[in-house]
Amino acid sequence: MDQLPNSRTESDGSAVIRVLTYNVRSLRDDTAALARVITACAPDLVLVQEAPRFFRWRKKLTRVADAAGLTYLAGGAPAAGPALLCTLRADIERTEDILLPLTPGQHRRGLSTAVLRFGQARLGVLSCHLSLRPDERHAQAGLLLDHLAALDVPHAVAGGDLNEPPGGRVFRRLGDGLRDAWTTAPHGGEYTFPATAPDRRIDALFTTEGVEVLGCGVPTDLPGVAEDDLRAATDHLPVLAALRIPAS
Protein backbone atom coordinates (compact mmCIF):
# COMPACT_ATOMS: atom_id res chain seq x y z
CA MET A 1 0.00 0.00 0.00
CA ASP A 2 1.29 3.47 -0.87
CA GLN A 3 2.19 5.59 2.14
CA LEU A 4 0.41 8.80 3.01
CA PRO A 5 2.17 11.91 1.68
CA ASN A 6 4.50 13.70 4.04
CA SER A 7 3.97 17.29 5.12
CA ARG A 8 5.26 19.85 2.64
CA THR A 9 4.63 23.22 1.04
CA GLU A 10 3.78 23.16 -2.66
CA SER A 11 5.05 25.60 -5.30
CA ASP A 12 1.56 27.11 -5.64
CA GLY A 13 1.49 28.03 -1.93
CA SER A 14 -0.77 25.17 -0.89
CA ALA A 15 0.24 23.02 2.08
CA VAL A 16 0.11 19.27 2.55
CA ILE A 17 -0.46 18.52 6.23
CA ARG A 18 -1.12 15.44 8.33
CA VAL A 19 -4.03 15.59 10.78
CA LEU A 20 -4.64 13.01 13.51
CA THR A 21 -7.75 12.61 15.65
CA TYR A 22 -7.35 10.51 18.80
CA ASN A 23 -9.41 9.75 21.91
CA VAL A 24 -6.76 9.35 24.63
CA ARG A 25 -9.06 8.31 27.53
CA SER A 26 -7.70 10.96 29.93
CA LEU A 27 -4.19 9.48 29.59
CA ARG A 28 -5.16 6.58 31.86
CA ASP A 29 -3.39 3.97 29.75
CA ASP A 30 0.19 3.56 28.45
CA THR A 31 1.29 7.13 27.70
CA ALA A 32 4.67 6.00 26.36
CA ALA A 33 2.88 3.82 23.78
CA LEU A 34 0.55 6.74 23.01
CA ALA A 35 3.50 9.07 22.37
CA ARG A 36 5.13 6.48 20.11
CA VAL A 37 1.98 6.13 18.02
CA ILE A 38 1.58 9.89 17.66
CA THR A 39 5.27 10.34 16.80
CA ALA A 40 5.15 7.65 14.10
CA CYS A 41 2.10 9.32 12.51
CA ALA A 42 4.13 12.56 12.17
CA PRO A 43 1.07 14.84 12.42
CA ASP A 44 1.06 18.60 12.00
CA LEU A 45 -2.18 18.71 14.01
CA VAL A 46 -3.67 16.39 16.62
CA LEU A 47 -7.35 16.65 17.49
CA VAL A 48 -7.53 15.14 20.98
CA GLN A 49 -10.60 13.85 22.79
CA GLU A 50 -10.83 13.00 26.49
CA ALA A 51 -7.77 15.05 27.34
CA PRO A 52 -7.17 15.35 31.12
CA ARG A 53 -9.53 17.89 32.69
CA PHE A 54 -8.67 17.97 36.37
CA PHE A 55 -5.59 18.03 38.63
CA ARG A 56 -2.49 19.15 36.64
CA TRP A 57 -4.31 18.53 33.38
CA ARG A 58 -2.16 20.92 31.35
CA LYS A 59 1.09 19.41 32.64
CA LYS A 60 -0.08 15.89 31.75
CA LEU A 61 -1.16 16.87 28.25
CA THR A 62 1.98 18.92 27.63
CA ARG A 63 4.17 16.00 28.70
CA VAL A 64 2.66 13.77 26.01
CA ALA A 65 2.87 16.57 23.43
CA ASP A 66 6.55 17.11 24.23
CA ALA A 67 7.27 13.38 23.94
CA ALA A 68 5.73 13.40 20.45
CA GLY A 69 7.54 16.57 19.33
CA LEU A 70 4.39 18.72 19.49
CA THR A 71 3.13 21.70 21.44
CA TYR A 72 -0.11 22.28 23.31
CA LEU A 73 -2.38 24.63 21.36
CA ALA A 74 -5.79 24.75 23.06
CA GLY A 75 -8.46 22.82 24.90
CA GLY A 76 -8.37 20.29 27.69
CA ALA A 77 -10.18 21.48 30.81
CA PRO A 78 -11.50 24.72 29.21
CA ALA A 79 -13.25 22.67 26.49
CA ALA A 80 -14.35 19.80 28.79
CA GLY A 81 -12.01 17.31 27.11
CA PRO A 82 -11.35 18.14 23.43
CA ALA A 83 -7.91 19.63 22.81
CA LEU A 84 -5.53 20.59 20.01
CA LEU A 85 -1.81 19.93 19.61
CA CYS A 86 0.37 21.15 16.74
CA THR A 87 3.89 21.36 15.39
CA LEU A 88 5.92 24.54 15.26
CA ARG A 89 5.22 24.55 11.53
CA ALA A 90 1.81 26.06 12.34
CA ASP A 91 1.43 29.80 12.82
CA ILE A 92 -1.36 30.42 15.33
CA GLU A 93 -3.87 33.10 14.43
CA ARG A 94 -6.34 32.50 17.25
CA THR A 95 -7.89 29.82 19.46
CA GLU A 96 -11.22 29.47 21.25
CA ASP A 97 -12.61 26.83 23.61
CA ILE A 98 -16.39 26.48 23.77
CA LEU A 99 -18.58 24.77 26.37
CA LEU A 100 -21.77 23.33 24.93
CA PRO A 101 -25.11 23.45 26.78
CA LEU A 102 -25.20 21.07 29.73
CA THR A 103 -27.88 18.42 30.00
CA PRO A 104 -28.53 17.67 33.69
CA GLY A 105 -27.06 14.33 34.68
CA GLN A 106 -24.81 14.14 31.61
CA HIS A 107 -21.12 14.86 31.07
CA ARG A 108 -20.27 18.41 30.04
CA ARG A 109 -19.22 18.59 26.39
CA GLY A 110 -17.25 21.21 24.51
CA LEU A 111 -15.30 22.14 21.39
CA SER A 112 -11.70 23.23 20.95
CA THR A 113 -11.08 25.44 17.91
CA ALA A 114 -8.26 27.32 16.25
CA VAL A 115 -7.36 29.21 13.08
CA LEU A 116 -3.85 28.43 11.82
CA ARG A 117 -1.59 29.17 8.90
CA PHE A 118 0.78 26.77 7.18
CA GLY A 119 2.70 29.16 4.96
CA GLN A 120 0.09 30.68 2.64
CA ALA A 121 -2.58 28.11 3.58
CA ARG A 122 -5.10 29.19 6.22
CA LEU A 123 -7.10 26.56 8.07
CA GLY A 124 -9.84 26.38 10.70
CA VAL A 125 -9.65 23.40 13.08
CA LEU A 126 -12.21 21.92 15.48
CA SER A 127 -11.97 18.98 17.89
CA CYS A 128 -15.12 17.47 19.40
CA HIS A 129 -16.43 14.61 21.54
CA LEU A 130 -20.17 14.24 21.16
CA SER A 131 -22.75 12.92 23.63
CA LEU A 132 -23.72 9.30 24.23
CA ARG A 133 -27.39 10.36 23.98
CA PRO A 134 -28.73 10.40 20.38
CA ASP A 135 -30.86 13.55 20.61
CA GLU A 136 -28.20 15.54 22.43
CA ARG A 137 -25.54 14.28 20.03
CA HIS A 138 -27.58 15.39 17.03
CA ALA A 139 -28.06 18.88 18.52
CA GLN A 140 -24.33 19.11 19.27
CA ALA A 141 -23.56 18.28 15.63
CA GLY A 142 -25.59 21.32 14.63
CA LEU A 143 -23.68 23.49 17.09
CA LEU A 144 -20.42 22.09 15.72
CA LEU A 145 -21.38 23.27 12.23
CA ASP A 146 -22.37 26.68 13.59
CA HIS A 147 -19.06 27.17 15.42
CA LEU A 148 -17.05 25.91 12.46
CA ALA A 149 -18.78 28.45 10.22
CA ALA A 150 -18.12 31.16 12.81
CA LEU A 151 -14.37 30.65 12.34
CA ASP A 152 -14.94 32.49 9.03
CA VAL A 153 -12.20 30.70 7.08
CA PRO A 154 -12.34 29.30 3.54
CA HIS A 155 -10.98 25.88 4.53
CA ALA A 156 -11.47 23.81 7.67
CA VAL A 157 -11.10 20.37 9.22
CA ALA A 158 -13.21 19.01 12.07
CA GLY A 159 -13.03 15.69 13.81
CA GLY A 160 -13.27 13.63 16.91
CA ASP A 161 -15.22 10.96 18.72
CA LEU A 162 -18.78 11.10 17.39
CA ASN A 163 -20.06 8.18 19.49
CA GLU A 164 -21.98 7.05 16.41
CA PRO A 165 -21.17 5.00 13.29
CA PRO A 166 -21.67 6.11 9.67
CA GLY A 167 -25.29 6.15 8.55
CA GLY A 168 -26.44 7.74 11.78
CA ARG A 169 -28.06 11.15 12.14
CA VAL A 170 -24.80 12.87 13.13
CA PHE A 171 -22.91 11.68 10.06
CA ARG A 172 -25.81 12.77 7.89
CA ARG A 173 -26.01 16.18 9.54
CA LEU A 174 -22.27 16.81 9.29
CA GLY A 175 -22.43 15.66 5.68
CA ASP A 176 -24.52 18.74 4.92
CA GLY A 177 -21.56 20.96 4.08
CA LEU A 178 -18.66 18.72 5.15
CA ARG A 179 -17.04 15.65 3.61
CA ASP A 180 -16.20 12.48 5.52
CA ALA A 181 -12.47 12.07 4.82
CA TRP A 182 -12.52 8.27 5.10
CA THR A 183 -15.31 7.96 2.54
CA THR A 184 -13.54 10.44 0.26
CA ALA A 185 -10.13 8.71 0.21
CA PRO A 186 -9.90 5.57 2.38
CA HIS A 187 -6.36 4.62 3.35
CA GLY A 188 -5.49 2.15 6.11
CA GLY A 189 -8.00 0.68 8.54
CA GLU A 190 -11.61 1.74 8.97
CA TYR A 191 -12.81 0.70 12.43
CA THR A 192 -11.71 2.72 15.46
CA PHE A 193 -13.35 1.15 18.53
CA PRO A 194 -12.61 -0.72 20.71
CA ALA A 195 -8.86 -0.69 20.18
CA THR A 196 -8.40 -4.31 21.22
CA ALA A 197 -10.98 -5.67 18.72
CA PRO A 198 -12.32 -2.80 16.57
CA ASP A 199 -15.70 -3.43 14.97
CA ARG A 200 -17.13 0.06 14.40
CA ARG A 201 -16.11 3.50 13.15
CA ILE A 202 -17.11 6.17 15.65
CA ASP A 203 -14.09 8.47 15.22
CA ALA A 204 -13.84 10.55 12.05
CA LEU A 205 -12.38 13.55 10.27
CA PHE A 206 -14.41 15.91 8.10
CA THR A 207 -13.26 18.65 5.73
CA THR A 208 -14.78 21.54 3.88
CA GLU A 209 -15.17 21.19 0.12
CA GLY A 210 -11.99 22.97 -0.94
CA VAL A 211 -9.66 20.72 1.08
CA GLU A 212 -8.22 17.82 -0.94
CA VAL A 213 -8.16 14.54 1.01
CA LEU A 214 -5.10 12.54 -0.07
CA GLY A 215 -5.85 9.62 2.23
CA CYS A 216 -7.55 8.93 5.56
CA GLY A 217 -7.86 5.98 7.93
CA VAL A 218 -6.51 4.11 10.92
CA PRO A 219 -2.70 3.96 10.46
CA THR A 220 -2.43 0.19 10.91
CA ASP A 221 0.26 -0.27 8.24
CA LEU A 222 2.23 2.90 8.89
CA PRO A 223 5.95 2.28 9.54
CA GLY A 224 6.72 2.70 13.22
CA VAL A 225 3.14 2.16 14.40
CA ALA A 226 3.16 -1.09 16.37
CA GLU A 227 -0.03 -3.07 16.91
CA ASP A 228 0.89 -3.57 20.57
CA ASP A 229 1.21 0.20 21.01
CA LEU A 230 -2.17 0.82 19.35
CA ARG A 231 -3.80 -1.59 21.78
CA ALA A 232 -1.98 -0.27 24.84
CA ALA A 233 -2.20 3.48 24.22
CA THR A 234 -5.96 3.98 24.79
CA ASP A 235 -9.31 2.32 24.05
CA HIS A 236 -9.74 4.00 20.64
CA LEU A 237 -7.66 3.76 17.48
CA PRO A 238 -6.50 7.00 15.85
CA VAL A 239 -7.55 8.33 12.47
CA LEU A 240 -4.83 9.91 10.33
CA ALA A 241 -5.40 11.99 7.20
CA ALA A 242 -3.15 13.72 4.69
CA LEU A 243 -4.80 16.89 3.40
CA ARG A 244 -3.85 19.49 0.81
CA ILE A 245 -4.93 22.96 1.92
CA PRO A 246 -5.12 25.59 -0.85
CA ALA A 247 -3.32 28.89 -0.45
CA SER A 248 -5.62 31.66 0.69
pLDDT at 2: 66
Q: Whole-angstrom Cα distance, residue 232 to residue 34?
A: 8
What is the predicted pLDDT for the residue at 3? Answer: 86
SS (H, E, C) the chain: CCCCCCCEECCCCCEEEEEEEEECHHHCCCHHHHHHHHHHHCCCEEEEECCCCCCCHHHHHHHHHHHCCCEEEEECHHHCCCEEEECCCCEEEEEEEEECCCCCCCCCCEEEEEEEEECCEEEEEEEEECCCCHHHHHHHHHHHHHHHHHCCCCCEEEEEECCCCCCCHHHHHHCCCCEEHHHHCECCECCCECCCCCCECCEEEEECCCCEEEEEEECCCCCCCCHHHHHHHCCCCCEEEEEEECEC
pLDDT of residue 105: 86
9-245 has CATH 3.60.10.10 classification? yes
Domain range annotation of the chain? 9-245
10-residue stretch averages of pLDDT, the chain, 248 residues long: 85 97 97 98 98 94 97 97 97 98 91 97 98 96 98 98 97 96 97 98 98 97 94 98 96
